[in-house]
Amino acid sequence: MKFHPLTVAAILSISVLPMQAMAQTAAAPQVSQQAQDLVNKILAAQPPFTGDAALGCKILLCLANPNGPEAVTQCIQPIQTLWHILSETPPGQIPVCPMASTPGNKNYATQAVNYYNACPAGTTPLAAGAQAALQGQPVTYSWVRDGDDGYSMQLTGVSTGIGDGEGLTPDYGGRDGNYTPLQPMTCVGQQVGTITPKDSNSMWSWYGQKPPAIPVYNQVTTIQPGMNGRAIDVFINNALHNVVHY
C-alpha cells in the first residue's frame, strides 16, 4: 500500500482506524522530510495504534519535531505523559515505538546528558580537537606572549571541535573553586579544501615553526551550550536528528 504524505499532526489525531483511512487523513502543516519519512515508516509497518506502542510512536514523532515537542496540539497530551514518566522516582523509561526501526535503520529517543542542540541540517559535529575554517574567510596566526615561558602560537579564523557534546558537563572546580565553562560546539558542512594560515607578525622565523594546513568547509557554525544538560536525544535513520531539553 502506498501512503499519501502525512504530517505528525495527522497521525496523532488518529487512534484506531484502518490503515487506508489513516493514509487519506487531511494533512496539517508540513514537517521536516526526515519526520515525514518516520511517519511513513511507522505506517508501512501497519501497527495496531493502541496501548504502549501507540504512546511510544506518538512520543517519538512529537520529539522529532524541530519546532518543539509540544508545537503540535495533538502532541501536548502524549508529551505531558512523557514528562510525568520521567519525573517519577526512580525515573521511568521513554516508551518505545517498536515499528519505527528495522535492522540497520534505527529510529528512537533516549535520555542523555547533553547541553547542546543538534547541528543544523546539512552539518555534523566537528571531531574533538579537529580544526576548521570557513570557505572564503582569512586565516592567520601570530605569536603572543605566554607568561614567562616565551611565546605561543594563536590562530585567528579557526574553530576547534569538541565532538557532539554528548556527556560533557561544566567543571565547577570542586575544592579548588576554578570554574571551567563548556565551549561552543562546532558544526561543519562539506570539506572543500585546505588553507595555510598566514603569519601576521613575521615571527615564524624566530621559532622555525608554522601551523599545518587547516581544513576548509562550506559551512561552519557554532552551537552555544545551554543551561540544562538534562536531555532526550532523538535519532532518525541512525543519526542524531534533534535534542530536546526538559
pLDDT of residue 200: 62
130-143 CB burial, b ≥16 within 10 A, e <16: bbbbbeeeebebbb
Report d(CA 135, CA 208) in Å as an integer. 28
pLDDT of residue 41: 60
Report d(CA 73, CA 71) in Å as an integer. 6
pLDDT of residue 48: 53
Report d(CA 237, CA 69) in Å as an integer. 19
Cβ-proximal residues to 89 (8 Å cutoff; 6+ apart), any chain: none
List, for residues 56-100, the tens digit of each pLDDT value.
Answer: 888 998 898 888 898 888 888 899 999 999 998 888 999 988 877
How far does CA 52 lie from the centroid of its chain? 26
Residues of the chain with pLDDT under 50: 1-31
pLDDT of residue 201: 56
CA angle (164, 168, 174) in 5-degree steps:
165
pLDDT of residue 126: 97
